[in-house]
Amino acid sequence: MTDKPKNILDITGTVLNIQRYCSHDGPGTRTTVFVKGCSLRCKWCGNPESIRMKPEVSYDPNKCDGKKCSICLKAPFPEGGFYFVEGDDSKVKVNWTLAAGINQEIVSLCPTGALEMFGKTMTVGEVMDEVEKDTSIYRNTGGGMTISGGEVMLQPDFAAALLQEAHNRGINTAIETASNAPWSFLEKVLPHVDTMLHDIKLMNSERHKKWTGVSNERILANLKKAYETFPDTDFIARTPLIPGVNADDEHMLGVLEFIKPHKNVIDYELLPYHRFGLGKYDSLGVIYELDDYKTPSDEVVKRFQTMIDKAFGRELTTE
């Protein structure tokens, strides 16, 4: 094991992307830091490039120059990793099995950028340099920095340092998490969090395991403990709403019953399922497991939103 850096700014993590001007990842306008690596395998995941912890190659044929270039057919690119189909158009195809293990150095040889690596190692200092660019916007909108994923709890030291440094610089902090991690990880991160947006994907444990790969007992226990241990933190529960998975009364009522006793859970948001991830699965060579499910209808969303509004004592927010 390597020694921890003495300076908080030198702590490193694997970052997928830093996105400025986000409006749905916590209060105000925010900069969202997407970290790489997830501890669940939700079959509907819209961000497949965030799933694996290590950096990985992606391929966008729209950028490929094909046979005019052909650089990826030769060393140092892996043998058999890239090929052409006879009679096909000029785009390279990827053998994802043989191309696995390719690194940034090799990927950077692709002149068009059709190949790129998802994920890079960054220090807290480097991330904060980017986040600090919009300090005035945070001040004007009540925004700040959000760490999303992937799963933020997979990199607890990096996340805690980043959040702590944001606080040091007067920046509001939020995280998005599924909370499937040892409590010690949450305990490390949460003292530096102003708002925690957390998923409750399925209340039924067996179904949770079926759709995400793990049961939900630890997640629910973590959430309950977090609500109680950090009373000054705002919590917002969220459910990615998917017909056939969790868009049902049983789940909704279960979540409302779970969060209701805790006054610091200030809202419950529905995230209607979208299919944005499809193209990305293809570009990563990953099999998309939920290809036949549909976005919930407006009626379904309205029905559940009404239940939530009622539980939170609000006037109806939907038309």
Partner 1 sequence: MSTDTGQKRVAIMVGAGYIPGINAVVAGASLAAGKLGWELLGILDGFEGLLHPEKYPNGGLIPIDPQKFNIDPNTGSVLGQSSRIDPFNVRTINELGMVEEVDMSDELLTRLKAENIDAVISIVGGRGLSILYQLHKKGLNAVCVPRSIENDIASTSVAFGFNTALTFTIEMLDRARLAAKAAQKIAVVEVLGEEAGWIALQAGIAVAADAVLIPEIPVDLQHVVTHLKNKMSGKKSWGLVVVAQGAKIINPGKTEEKVSTLKASLSPLATSDSNSEFVIHKSGQVAQAVAEGLQLRIAEETFPMVIGPWVRGGTPSAVDRQLGVAYGAGAIQALEAGRNGVMVAFVPPDVKFVPLAEAINKVRTIPTGSMFFQVADSLGIYVGNKEA
Q: What are phi and psi of 253, to 5 degrees?
A: -65, -35
Q: Contacts with partner 1: how many residues (CB under 8 A)?
A: 57
H-helix or E-strand spanning residue 117: strand 115-118
**Cβ-based nearer residue to partner 1, 8 or 180:** 180
Q: Which of residues 213-232 bind partner 1 (CB under 8 A)?
A: 213-214, 218
Q: What are phi and psi of 83, to 5 degrees?
A: -160, 170
For the window 234-263, what string marks contact with partner 1 as x by the rule CB under 8 A?
------x-----------------------
**Cβ-based nearer residue to partner 1, 28 or 46:** 46
Residue in 216, 277, 296, 308 binding partner 1, rule: CB under 8 A: 277
Here the tokens at position 126 are 């480097």
3-state secondary structure of 112: coil
**Cβ-based nearer residue to partner 1, 41 or 169:** 41
**Cβ-based nearer residue to partner 1, 11 or 38:** 38
101 backbone φψ class: left, alpha, beta (φ>0; ψ -120 to 50): left
Determine how many CB atoms are found less than 10 A away from the CB of residue 316. Answer: 10
Residue in 4, 41, 260, 263 binding partner 1, rule: CB under 8 A: 41
The answer to whether 173 touches 163, Cβ cutoff 8 Å, is yes
**Cβ-based nearer residue to partner 1, 34 or 258:** 34
For the chain, how big is the Rg over CA atoms in Å? 21
Residue in 14, 49, 175, 194 binding partner 1, rule: CB under 8 A: 49
Report which of 156, 173, 148 is spatially closest to residue 222, judged by C-alpha positions: 156
Confirm or reject binding of residue 183 to partner 1 (CB under 8 A): no
DSSP sequence for 21-75: EESSSSSSSEEEEEEP--S---TT-S-GGGTSSS-EEEE-GGG--GGGT-GGGST
Here the tokens at position 16 are 């997928």
Residue in 9, 83, 204, 307 binding partner 1, rule: CB under 8 A: 83
Placement of tokens 């003292």 in the chain: 191
**Cβ-based nearer residue to partner 1, 251 or 277:** 277
Residue in 253, 278, 300, 311 binding partner 1, rule: CB under 8 A: 278
**Cβ-based nearer residue to partner 1, 288 or 312:** 288
For the window 6-35, what string marks contact with partner 1 as x by the rule CB under 8 A?
----------xx-x--xxxx------x-x-
Instruction: Name the minimum Å distance from CB 38 to partner 1.
Output: 8
Instruction: Name the minimum Å distance from CB 152 to partner 1.
Output: 13
H-helix or E-strand spanning residue 223: helix 217-229
Q: Measure Cα distances from 107 to 57, 72, 100 in Å.
A: 8, 9, 12
Residue in 111, 228, 279, 316 binding partner 1, rule: CB under 8 A: 279
Here the tokens at position 25 are 């990842």
Farthest CA pair distance, the chain? 64
Type of residue at 312: F
Q: Which of residues 91-120 bind partner 1 (CB under 8 A)?
A: 93, 95-98, 100
Instruction: Name the minimum Å distance from CB 45 to partner 1.
Output: 10
Which positions lie near partner 1, rule CB under 8 A? 16-17, 19, 22-25, 32, 34, 38-41, 46-47, 49-50, 52-53, 60-62, 80, 83, 85-88, 93, 95-98, 100, 154, 180-182, 212-214, 218, 240, 271, 274-283, 288, 291-292
